[in-house]
Chain A
């Protein structure tokens, strides 16, 4: 094994790139779960966004429009979930799974004509002064714009949840939807909006994979990223900054094991490939065994159906 083949700076930089799709999806799901809804369909929404974004970018020639298309695609699919769970009161776990299964098949269908197609490139930003800094510049300041936007989104979600009226109402709905309804808040409307936001974010996360990280389209390009995002929401205890930390940790593990594979590590390739998933499980166990804290952070109405009865 040739460890010298691994460049630590490249490692750290690629960590952020690897983390971004999961961060975007996880952020969206934080908002959804804070509103009291458990949407397990993140994987389906991500991959739908991946193909919608890819197709839009190829057709228009603009990766930015691709991201818009991805957000719309993810949001549209999430609308199905919203309708089923909020209006028709279907079981949230089963509906989320249906979303994933359908999304995987549907995106594969849409992507038939796009296999092997090269998308328009997303270039790295050059920020004056910062990008040219010796070490820090290489690691932090030479990324594409979406990496920075995702971090801004973390800050925006955090601030909105903590300080804005809309954030307060959303949290209230997630805590006790009956009380929120009694006070006159439109629980269903708020939840649908949150679900669509989650869908848009997951879609953009998927687009990042197909347009920037890989970049190309293949069936199953997400490879479980949506499930990892769900795990990271739990790891982050529904707090945006902690979710970002979780996403970066996971990104780090992913690129590390890839680098180890490339450097010819003596561990069989398959065991390295499974390490991110195993570590995610470990992290989940640690988080959930810390009972009291976790219990206080999970929105009390999470997963329960709301039916207004007067």
Chain B
């Protein structure tokens, strides 16, 4: 008989080993999936994980893409992880990402075609505020009316998508765009563009922001009372109240912060890699970031690594699509499987597997 026995203290080894084991298991399961789809599993896994980094033929193109994709994922995931640790589930990061992009782009376009140094910083601030404001809706509804933030933040994603469509087709449409949907191209307007800081590395301001966020989050969680309170609230809410934590304040801070970071990511994307505000510029980063947050075990350094890994699956997936005809939906399924395996193995950090009856002392 197989039993689960709770460990007296969480196992440090398993806390760090879990993501690694999960990735390995996903590769196996993914390989099976690809085989079922008629692709050579080993070739597919290699194309996804190895080629983008090391294959001499395309690594030079795909490596920079790694930072481009990882930046927003890490930035959003850091914000989400703080809330998740406190038991505050912001599932609507995608919506905050969109609204941040809209707000930031709008702020910049209001001054087109001027060329002041403060336009880009203004856009950045507007982007953060846009995401923050969108996240304040579930925050206020939760603190004043005790409404479940999961459902509200999620439903607002659908609303945000409609707002985006309305903006891209209407209010913010490029007047010189020949009637096509989408805003002016921001990445081609020097005052507003989110350039690469080091040519060819893919490192734009969004990536810098992501690294700053990782450091900030690390210090917050390890060394600051707020970080302690966040951890405490998620683990033992009654003890948190006893310790004097104000739960409403925590909700507002966590949702606000994650909204602002998601909004920032949106702005950086729209002024950089995506180039302009279009109906479908959002590629699901807000949701993938949830996987990144859990894969990184809600720890800043873990999220950094997990973000890079997830970016790899995106790029490798595109490569596999191109080279092997692997459907893009397969990659989405693959990423979902990764989260499954992670959640499944996570238990080993807190429980031991015992086979047979309980032993006699």
Partner pick for A101 among B147, B155, B159, B335, CB 8 A cutoff = B335
Q: Which of A88, A105, A281 contacts B152 (CB under 8 A)?
A: A281
Q: Which of B155, B333, B344 has a CB less than 8 Å from the CB of A224?
A: B155
Contact with A along B331-355 (1 / 0, CB 8 A): 1111111011001101100010000
Which residues from A are CB-within-8-Å of B334? 105
A84 touches B290 (CB 8 A): no
Residues of B within 8 A of A307 (CB): 4, 6
Contact partner of A285 (CB less than 8 A), chosen from B141, B159, B331, is B141
Please, which residues of chain A bring their CB within 8 A of the CB of B146? 288-289, 291
Residue in chain B with minimal CB distance to A83: B344
CB distance from A202 to the nearest CB of B (A): 16
Q: Does A103 contact B (CB under 8 A)?
A: yes
Least CB distance from A48 to B in Å reads 11
Cross-chain contact B166 with A270 (CB below 8 angstroms):
yes
- What B residues does A57 contact at CB under 8 A? none
When the two chains form their complex, are residues B166 and A268 in contact, meaning their CB atoms are under 8 A apart? yes
User: A280 CA to B165 CA in the complex, in Å?
Assistant: 21
Given contacts A40-B150, A90-B346, contact A101 B165 (CB under 8 A): no
Instruction: Decide if A102 is an interface residue (CB 8 Å cutoff).
Output: yes
B287 at the interface (CB under 8 A from A): yes
- A104–B6 touching, CB < 8 Å: no
> Which residues of B in the span 168-184 have a Cβ within 8 Å of any Cβ on A?
169-170
Could you say which of A106, A109, A227, A288 contacts B154, with CB atoms under 8 Å apart?
Answer: A227
A274 and B161 alpha carbons, distance in the complex (Å): 9
- A40-B150, A270-B165 as given contacts; A90 in contact with B344, CB under 8 Å: yes
Query: Which residues of chain B have C-beta atoms less than 8 A from A274's C-beta?
Result: 158-159, 162-163
Q: Does B330 contact A (CB under 8 A)?
A: yes
Contact of A88 with B347 at beta-carbon distance under 8 Å, contacts A102-B336, A309-B6 already known: yes
Interface centre among B147, B287, B294, B327 (most CB of A within 10 A): B147
Q: Are B336 and A105 in contact (CB under 8 A)?
A: yes
Q: Chain A residues near B212 (CB, 8 Å)? A: none
Quick check: is A262 within 8 A (CB to CB) of the other chain? no
**Which residue of chain B has the shortest Cβ distance to A305 in the bound complex?**
B347
Question: Are the CB atoms of A105 and B330 closer together than 8 Å?
Answer: yes
Q: Which residue of A lies closest to B37 (CB)?
A: A109
**Is B28 in contact with chain A by the CB < 8 A criterion?**
no
Q: How far is the CB of B316 from chain A (nearest CB, A)?
A: 15
Contact with A along B116-155 (1 / 0, CB 8 A): 0000000000000000000000000100111110111011
A90 is contacted by which of B152, B159, B331, B343 (Cβ under 8 Å)? B343
User: Complex formed: what's the CA distance from A275 to B19 in Å?
Assistant: 41
Q: Tell yes or no: B205 within 8 A of A by CB.
A: no
A155 at the binding interface (Cβ < 8 Å)? no
- Does B91 belong to the interface (CB within 8 Å)? yes
Inter-chain CA distance A104–B351, complex, in Å, is: 31
Question: Quick check: is A17 within 8 A (CB to CB) of the other chain?
Answer: no
A109 vs B330: C-alpha distance when bound (angstroms): 6
The CA of A105 and the CA of B331, in the complex, are separated in Å by 8
> Chain A residue with minimal CB distance to B145?
A289
- B89 contacts the other chain (CB 8 A): yes
Which of A90, A112, A224, A270 lies in contact with B329, CB distance below 8 A? A112
Q: Is the CB of B347 within 8 A of A97?
A: no
- A132 smallest CB distance to B (angstroms): 40
Q: Is B75 an interface residue (CB 8 A)?
A: no
Q: Which residues of A contact B159 (CB under 8 A)?
A: 274, 277-278
Chain A residues engaging chain B, CB cutoff 8 angstroms: 40, 80, 83-84, 88-91, 93-95, 97-98, 101-106, 108-109, 112, 219, 223-224, 227-228, 230-231, 234, 268, 270-271, 273-274, 277-278, 280-281, 284-285, 288-289, 291, 307, 309
A-B contact pairs, 19 of them (CB 8 A): A40-B150, A84-B340, A89-B4, A94-B294, A95-B340, A97-B290, A101-B287, A101-B290, A101-B339, A102-B333, A102-B340, A109-B333, A112-B327, A228-B155, A231-B155, A274-B162, A277-B155, A278-B159, A288-B146
- Can you list the 6 inter-chain pairs with the closest CB atoms, starting with the nearest? A102-B336, A105-B332, A108-B329, A105-B333, A270-B166, A98-B339
Q: A95-B340, A309-B6 are in contact. List 8 more A-B contacts (CB 8 A).
A: A224-B158, A230-B151, A231-B155, A277-B156, A278-B155, A280-B155, A281-B152, A285-B141
